[in-house]
Amino acid sequence: MSAELSTCALCPRLCRPACPVTTGTGREAAVPTFLAGMAIEHERGRIEAELAEAALSLCTDCGACEAHCHIHHPLPELLRDARFEASVERVFEPVAAIEGDAEVVAVEADERPLAEVVARTLGVEVARWKTRDRFGAAHLDSRGWDPEPLIRAAEGRRIIVADGGVAQALERAGIAVEWLTELVERDGCTGSCADGGERPLACCGGGGPLPVHHPEDAQRVARAYHRRWEGGVLSDARCRGHLRSAGFEARDVLDELLEAE
């Protein structure tokens, strides 16, 4: 891995302006080239795992560095691997059972009744799958994260999501998901790092390990995002939740559908 990381560690910081954590916090420690350097230092045994994990968590896994890179170097993937190498064994919340036998399943990651909205939209019965920790999305790169309970639960079902963390966890487990925005054919929302659609802005700071390891930095990134955001409806409930936690009004497609009832 070192050779691939060295490409970034020796790069003249070309993707620095694209990284939302660097620009939102002003921290040199969050510059993508520096993160690559820390990964190499850990790989070579020059820094402790705890320090490496803290440093490598100054990242939301948003993909902006790779998108901006002149050679599209896969730094986000390299950082995921490096975070795994530096991680401790974590205990994750057990995956809840799906409530109901319907083929269509809506994953609810906040207090709002996504399953009811999907049932009304499709005109079919919809099962509810609740998660309080987005299936461990903040620590997908940690030792102890296990995709098997998700794979077993989701087998043969059609999974609908409205939250980027949930989507990333399920996709990491190899489970296909459909977004609520696709289901209701709602175009023109502000997209996110996780929804696969057009992304007019870099990350809001709510993704990856950043909010858990560095909550104050995550809030700074939210404020920087909000300064650039022209408003509108968000596609991703995780962005909504993160921006609200920073004190901003933020609405997503699910809010819009619930208000329209």
Residues of this chain that interact with ligand SF4 (CB under 6 A) are 7-8, 11, 14-15, 18-21, 32-33, 35, 59-66, 69, 73, 75-76
Residue whose pair of structure tokens reads 């319907």 in the numeric block: 102
Residues with Cβ within 8 Å of 48's Cβ and at least 6 positions away in sequence, in order, are: none
Helices (H), the chain: 2-9, 20-25, 32-43, 49-56, 64-68, 75-86, 114-122, 148-154, 164-172, 180-183, 210-213, 215-228, 237-245, 253-260
The token duo for 75 is 């730094």
**Cα torsion 209, 210, 213, 215: sign:** negative
Report the alpha-carbon distance of residue 133 to residue 215 in Å, rounded: 16
Distance of closest approach, residue 209 Cβ to ligand SF4, in angstroms? 10
Q: Nearest approach, Cβ of 108 to ligand SF4 (angstroms)?
A: 27
Alpha-carbon Rg of the chain, whole angstroms?
19
Whichever of 14 and 233 has its CB closer to ligand SF4, that residue is: 14
Give the residue with the Cβ less far from ligand SF4, 33 or 168.
33
Residue 8: CB minimum distance to ligand SF4, A: 3
Q: Which is nearer to ligand SF4, 34 or 129 (CB)?
A: 34
Minimum Å gap between C-beta 35 and ligand SF4 is 6
Kindly tell me which of 35 and 115 has the beta carbon lying closer to ligand SF4.
35
How many C-beta neighbours within 10 Å does residue 208 have?
30
Contact present, 207 and 193 (Cβ < 8 Å): yes
- Give 14 or 258: the residue with its C-beta nearer to ligand SF4: 14
Minimum Å distance from CB 28 to ligand SF4? 13
Nearer to ligand SF4, 136 or 206 (CB): 206
CB of 194 to ligand SF4, least distance (A): 12
Three-state DSSP class for residue 88: coil
CB of 15 to ligand SF4, least distance (A): 3
The DSSP secondary-structure symbol of 190 reads B
Of 30 and 175, which CB lies nearer to ligand SF4 in the complex structure?
A: 30
